[in-house]
Amino acid sequence: MAWPLVNLTVTFFFLIFLLFQSCLSISLPLLLPPPHPRARPAMVLPLFPSPKNTSTTFPDSSHRLLRSDSNSSHPYARMRLYDNLLSRGYYSTRLWIGTPPQRFALIVDTGSTVTYVPCAMCEKCGTHQDPKFQPELSGTYQPVKCNLDCNCDKDRDQCIYERQYAEMSVTSGILAEDVISFGNLSELSPQRIVFGCETEETGELYRQHADGIIGLGRGDLSIVDQLVEKGVISDSFSLCYGGMDVGGGAMVLGGISAPSDMIFSYSDPVRSPYYNIDLKEMHVARKKLDLDPSVFDRKFGTVLDSGTTFAYFPEAVFEAFKDTIMKELNSLKQISGAVPSYNDTCFSGISSDVSQLSKTFPTIELVFENQQKLLLTPENYLFRHSKVQGAYCLGIFQNGMDPTTLLGRIIVRNTLVTYDRKDSKIGFWKTNCSELWERLHVTSAPSPSPSPFPSPSPSPSPSSSSGKENSTFEMPPISAPEESPIYALIGTVNHGEIEIGEISLDLALNVNHSYLKPRLVMLLEFMAKELGVNGSQVHLLNFTSEGNISFIKWSIVPSGSATYISNTTAINIISRLAEHRVMLPDDFGNYQLVQWEVKPPSKQTWWQRQYLVVLLGIMMFIIAGLIASGIWLWSRRRQAQIPYQPVDGAAREHELQPLQS
């Protein structure tokens, strides 16, 4: 009797397991597919295929998000900025050096002229974001030979450089020339540029995460001066740093059409070796500080430096500023900074929402010689306390005994700053730098100049039956029409909406296969968060690579018990990826949406619709059977415990015991 019970128990638990598995299939985990047989480590190329999909319309390639200066036919190099002030203390961009290109993350610095990266022969260099530059792997590398225009090494064989920065860190190395590429958003073709091949670094340069520095200052070694000298860009560049909680931003080498409401300050190119502005007054909460205008013109004057994190005022300016702003903030609770030795001025008990800061903190106005005013909102002079939520600290300090007024990156967050060197002026335009291209919405740029590098062929599309495509693997600068692109959804209409059961997405990233593979789950979880979907909705379908490019095919399915994905959600997901409005962490490089597809919900059979009910019914039947079997076995066991005697059987005689008297 025990054997049928065992059988029923095993069957019961097997059905429970099946039910558990079927429930899990509703939200599959992010599983890695087996590696592609052709996957191999490779250096990163700044090239991507263009998006294509038969069910969507993309803008014509002659339309661009940005155009060159209307007075010039020169192209420009449009580049992304990364990082932020709080986590890194700087903004960086990407350059590719050599043939084939090797990628580097470089701090954007308008106060420096030399552009340098650590080289393979550098034994006194720190560990940075990317591998060191390997000259022997570049077919176009050439050291600069000793000449009258440079400092030479002790053997008088090669030109060398050495730079010391304000925090006393030092970089030194040899000067070399190679082909430099500006990324897949650039209209400017790769150019031969002289750069620093670093052989030694000290101090903060040794410890920083970024690989090196891109020098945008005035000087023969400046990358801007070299490009202007070649006649490939106009004598101008622009920077736009993201806001307090956003980071990143944009950078353009070359001239762009200035917005009509951009304000300008004269910038005297012979006043100092740095980019200075003609500052005359400062207002806090609309109150003019009682200062002699000449205080802003001492030593180097008022310098705008993208290589400096905060703002540093001369003693008189700082004291007047701090006295005025402390009176405005006397109702706030003052606390110590995250690092007590820095003696920061911080305030707590404030909203964590940056958009609400202007209700608590006053605005600051910088007044130029021409009486134009640059308005600074709280995010232009505050930074978040790194240890206390809802606390902020002043990002303006005294510049020691130095009478120079130094305006760092914090002053121009969410501000497009154009360094118009041709006309000796610097322009400022308040904007949201994370949406700069959409806000400029300028079209009719010249076509991108051709690249001297051949374009590799794309990876076969996972859904391609032939395994090959005839398109070339080439990506022009990201385009944008005067109106928003239309993403046409095709499918069965139900109650005015297309029924969408799955969004299939093919993404290309310029990160090599071996680096990306262990970080795939992290990437897709980040994508899910950025796109506002649950991680259980994201399914990895395929992961391949071709040379330097990794391809990810993944899908998004309805959440929970939902049957469809709403049309609004689908268009939002597709448009954000197609228009590069999802900002990936630095480690994942740039991306391109190669193609996408919306699929209808799969037609469910009667079993797929009712399987849970059927399984629950079977389970209840089995449970009832097990209970009945248990009761039956229990009753039989009770009966077996009572001895059975026939009615007419002989009874056993028992000996009588005498009674105790």
Catalytic amino acids? 109, 305
35 SS3 class: coil
- Give the separation between CA 248 and CA 243, rounded to whole angstroms: 8
The helix or strand, by DSSP H or E, that contains position 342, with its residue range, turns out to be none
Q: What is the DSSP secondary-structure string of 252-308?
A: EES-BPPPTT-EEEE--TTT-SS-EE-EEEEEETTEE----GGGGGSTT-EEE-TT-
Nearest Cα neighbor of 366 from 412, 404, 400 is: 412
Residue 392: exposed, middle, or buried by beta-carbon count in 10 A (0-12, 13-18, 19+)? buried
Nearest Cα neighbor of 150 from 219, 87, 214 is: 219
Nearest Cα neighbor of 572 from 519, 536, 531, 604 is: 531
- Phi and psi torsions of 19, nearest 5°: -65, -40
Structure-block tokens of residue 64:
């661009």
196 SS3 class: strand
Q: What is the DSSP secondary-structure string of 457-526?
A: PPPPPTT-SSS---S----PSPP--SSPPP----S-EETTEE--SEEEEEEEESS-HHHHGGGHHHHHHH
Q: Which residues 6+ apart lie within 8 Å of 519 measured at CB?
A: 587, 588
**Rounded to 5 degrees, what angle do the CA atoms 496, 502, 504 make?**
120
Report whether 570 contacts 500 (CB < 8 A).
yes
Report whether 595 contacts 53 (CB < 8 A).
yes
Report whether 555 contacts 504 (CB < 8 A).
yes
- CA dihedral (627, 631, 637, 641) in degrees, to 10, reads 150
User: At what angle are helices 606-640 and 2-24 packed, to 10 degrees?
Assistant: 150
- Give the separation between CA 555 and CA 38, rounded to whole angstroms: 23
Nearest Cα neighbor of 538 from 528, 551, 526, 523 is: 528
- Give the separation between CA 462 and CA 543, rounded to whole angstroms: 9
Which neighbouring-strand residues pair with 546? 549
Report whether 234 contacts 228 (CB < 8 A).
yes
- Give the separation between CA 456 and CA 547, rounded to whole angstroms: 8
The owner of tokens 């999802």 is: 582
Nearest Cα neighbor of 587 from 530, 529, 641, 519 is: 519
Report how far Cα 570 is from the mean position of its chain's Cα atoms: 22
The owner of tokens 């006309």 is: 423
Report the amino acid identity of residue 97: I
